[in-house]
Amino acid sequence: MVVLILLLLLAAALGVLGTVLKVTLVLVMSFVLAIVILGIIGYYYARHRFRRFVKTAEQQQRMPPGGGAPGGAAGGGQRGYPTTGTKSPPPQLPE
């Protein structure tokens, strides 16, 4: 604390006290602004993650136990992968 007062007195004696105070103000305000911006980013990120968690939890609650029947009878057509074609063997070339 004493060192800070001595530095301020030295700056005043050299005639640069105004410049020193302006630079100090810029540094302090930059630090405060950085903390505020990080806080806002953290808030929106946490809100995004919480909403995604709630959405997944609601989707899991609506799902029937066991994930539905394997034939697609209880899945409503939502298998998560494309279901085109049939399970029969591919056509053979004529001999």
Position 8 in a domain? no
Give the model's pLDDT for residue 44: 98
Position 48 in a domain? yes
CB 83 within 8 A of CB 72: yes
**Long-range contacts of the stretch 48-57 (C-beta < 8 A, 24+):** none
Query: In terms of residue numbers, what domain contains 31?
Result: 27-62
pLDDT of 24 > 90? The answer is yes
Q: For 27, list phi and psi in degrees, rounded to 5.
A: -65, -45
In the chain, the number of structural domains is 1
Position 81 in a domain? no
Report pLDDT digits (tens) over 29-87: 999 999 999 999 999 999 999 999 999 999 988 877 665 555 545 555 556 666 666 67
Position 9 in a domain? no
**Per the confidence metrics, is the pTM higher than 0.85?**
no
SS3 of residue 7 by DSSP: helix
